[in-house]
Amino acid sequence: MKSDRFDELMRNRARQEKITVRHETDLLFQNAMKRARVEAARQPEPIREKSSRKAWAIVAAECIAAECIAAAVLLLWAPVCDVTRQSAVQRQTSHTVAMKPVTQGVINKSPSVRFDMVYLQNTVTLEGRFENLVDDDTWLVQCEAMLDQPEQMKPLEYVIMLEPGAECVHQMVWENVDTQQAKVSWRYTAYRVTADMLYWLDGEVLSPTDEDYLDQQLLMQDAFETQALILEAGDWSNGMAGPVRVLLPDQYIDEHAELSVVEYCVQNGLLEDGSQLCSGEDTAICTKLQ
């Protein structure tokens, strides 16, 4: 395996490298150890009953905090939406259509999505803010948006990938719009990545007329047969979140034309439908700002 050979080489390098902790950091480290020893000497042995009580106190506090968050969400959500829809500031609409749902005092682990829209001069911009700050899994968010004709909405070719702890902003832009008002409809659904392996395509996706097309298809086929989710690396500014295309070998796409790539991946257990936790749709109308 090529990766195994590379890893072996890197581990050998790591073993040979001399990395030493600087003296001043070592002094801090020694001080921390001294403080810890002093504290440990003072600290009585933990009493199980107390720990248990503390744990219950934490659970209760968490439940109260979650209830407070839910109340705050309910109080803040509607006015923000209304006020911003009526105001003539640059950010004309503010839709928080996927607040983290709160169920029985527990905040569900899922990404959150928020859309803002602005119609400035002849350009309509729909800006999505995507966050995955509370879940340890990687998520893909599939979006679709359409100007003026919501019935023609279809998913974008790419999805927004969100690794744990990642967030990003992504814009969809319509230029040369020439009406006084613009109506944009959008919809999104999140999918949890459940594939054990991810295969990142090396380079661009080739078309059948390209020289190495067949080699690339064979690599993708190998990856697919080992139950890997195949992804085309995106050009991301922050490295861990952004638009990326989910891919399948062309042969599978031809054989399953009735399914989208994402649907096919869900059927094959590479992705899990997370629409119960994170999905939404909305429409907004904005008046042109000069």
Which residues would be at the binding site for another protein (CB under 8 A)? Answer: 2-3, 5-7, 9-11, 13-14, 17-22, 25-26, 28-29, 31-33, 35-37, 39-40, 43, 45-46, 136-138, 163-165, 193-200, 202, 233, 238-240
Output 132 or 189, the one with its CB closest to another protein: 132
DSSP code of 247?
E
In 63-111, the DSSP E strands lie at 93-98, 102-103, 106-107
Nearest distance from C-beta of residue 163 to another protein, angstroms: 6
Write the CA distances from 269 to 202, 224, 235, integer angstroms.
Answer: 24, 12, 27
Nearest distance from C-beta of residue 279 to another protein, angstroms: 21
Output 161 or 286, the one with its CB closest to another protein: 161
Nearest distance from C-beta of residue 16 to another protein, angstroms: 9
Nearest distance from C-beta of residue 237 to another protein, angstroms: 11
Output 117 or 229, the one with its CB closest to another protein: 229
Write the CA distances from 198 to 153, 195, 201, 205, 207, integer angstroms.
Answer: 29, 7, 10, 16, 22
Question: Do 262 and 271 meet the contact criterion of CB atoms below 8 Å apart?
Answer: yes
* Nearest by Cα to 235 from 191, 199, 204: 204
Nearest distance from C-beta of residue 148 to another protein, angstroms: 36
Output 81 or 240, the one with its CB closest to another protein: 240
Question: Do 172 and 145 meet the contact criterion of CB atoms below 8 Å apart?
Answer: yes
Tokens of 28: 């801090």
Output 5 or 154, the one with its CB closest to another protein: 5
In the block, tokens 């921390």 appear at 32
